[in-house]
Amino acid sequence: MTSPAHSEARSAHPGTLRLAAPARRARAGRIAESPGPRPPTVRTPIEDAVRQAVQAMTQDLCCDEGIASIAAANFYSKFHFTREFSRITGTTPRRYLAALRMQRAKDLLLKSDLGVVDVSTTVGYMSVGTFSSRFSALVGVSPREWRRCRGRTSASPDVHGPGRTVLRGHVHLVEDVSRRPADLFVAVYEDSVVQGRPVACARPELGTSFELTGVPAGSWMVSVLLRSLTEAGTEILRDRCQVTVSDDPTTSHLPLRLQPTTPCEFDPPVIFSGAGFLPAGGDRGGC
């Protein structure tokens, strides 16, 4: 008989939550169920190397081959560096770079007068057709629709996956966040990059438990995005944990409370527009 659905931590990169007791969060060394002051973060040599890679990719969207140079400069093989990069950021260098390119495209469409063809070339696409189809698939709307709506797209409704497992858990909110207008998005993706239609997602009310239905067998990342209004504007908080799901039709209660905190420097950008939008005044409507 197959074992029931279960979840486990696959790595200890910043932002990963260990789903077997005792549940701990590697980022800032905090126990997930008992939030408290963050101790000083100790930087390791591999984190410094990954930081260099992220900065290089952010500055140069054609930095594909530069990853090997950064690895060699820090005395790592490309294979080892790629594995450690994935452990720390939750995704591979290639997918991280692709997310940065798409985020730059989103920004250019909103903040510049460049046409779609020029935007696609600027972010490293040789074909505007390929760029447009990728943008539509990953962002959720076409480049022209994104520009026309000024980024004010509608939030995605709940998505039920094709699998047989239900994941349940709770999003813990600190008191000052729970009193603000806010939008909560919990979703299952292949890795830490929130792009394209999720495998499963839910938009629970603040302070309530979430339920992700139809999660297929495999290793997945559960990402939480919380947008809340502050006096300075919209604040985005994030959290994530990796789970491994069996093929049994069962309900699995995640033995922790996901707790959104300020994104760390290694978090990839959020590409999927359906993750939510919360402009000043709390108007959640799309264009």
Strand residues in 44-190 grouped as ranges (E): 165-171, 182-189
CB contact at 8 A, 70 and 63: no
Q: 148 lies in a domain?
A: no
* Closest C-alpha to 208, from 234, 242, 244, 182: 182
Q: Residue 74 domain-assigned?
A: no
Which pLDDT value is given to residue 286?
Answer: 58
pLDDT band at 21 (very low <50, low <70, confident <90, very high): very low
Does residue 266 lie in a domain region? Answer: yes
Share of the chain above pLDDT 70, in %: 76
Q: What is the pLDDT of residue 257?
A: 62
Arithmetic mean of pLDDT over the chain: 79
**Tell me, what CATH number does 268's domain have?**
2.60.40.1120
pLDDT of residue 25: 34
For position 175, what pLDDT does the model report?
Answer: 66
3-state secondary structure of 235: strand
Question: For residue 102, is it within any domain?
Answer: no
Structure-model confidence comparison of residues 239 and 247, the more confident one: 239
User: What pLDDT shows up at residue 110?
Assistant: 95
Question: What does the pLDDT read at residue 178?
Answer: 65
Instruction: Give Cα 244 distance to the centre of its chain.
Output: 17
Q: Give the dihedral sign, CA 261/86/31/194.
A: positive
Q: Is 13 a member of any domain?
A: no
Residue 80 belongs to some domain of the structure: no
DSSP class of residue 174 equals -
pLDDT, mean of residues 42-67: 84
Answer for the pair 128, 54: CB distance below 8 angstroms, yes or no.
no
- pLDDT at residue number 277: 64
**pLDDT of the residue at 37:** 38
CA-angle at 121, arms to 120 and 126, nearest 5°? 90
Using a pLDDT cut of 90, give the percent of the chain over it: 44
Considering only 4-8, 52-56, 120-124, 154-158, which range has the smallest mean pLDDT? 4-8
Full domain range(s) for residue 251:
24-38+154-275
Strand residues in the chain grouped as ranges (E) = 24-25, 30-31, 165-171, 182-189, 200-202, 209-215, 218-230, 233-245, 251-258
User: Rounded distance, CA 251 to CA 177, Å?
Assistant: 29
Contact 124, 97 (CB under 8 A): no
User: Number of structural domains, the chain?
Assistant: 1
pLDDT digits (tens, 9 = 90+) for 140-183: 999 999 999 998 888 889 999 999 899 988 888 776 676 777 78
Kindly report, residue by residue over 27-41, the tens digit of the pLDDT. 322 223 333 334 445
Give every CB contact of residue 189 below 8 A, 6+ residues apart in sequence: 195, 198, 199, 220, 221, 223
pLDDT at 35 (0 to 100): 36
pTM: 0.79
* Of the listed ranges 4-18, 43-57, 70-84, the one predicted with least confidence: 4-18
* Residue bearing the bigger pLDDT, 287 or 218: 218
pLDDT band at 26 (very low <50, low <70, confident <90, very high): very low
Of residues 155 and 64, more confidence is placed in 155
Strands 251-258 and 165-171: parallel
- Asked if residue 231 belongs to a domain, the reply is yes
Instruction: Tell me if 185 sits within 8 A of 231, measured CB to CB.
Output: no
* pLDDT in the model for residue 153: 86
Q: Other C-beta atoms within 10 Å of 172: how many?
A: 19
Residue 19 confidence class, pLDDT cut points 50, 70, 90: very low
Within-domain flag for 99: no
pLDDT for position 27: 35
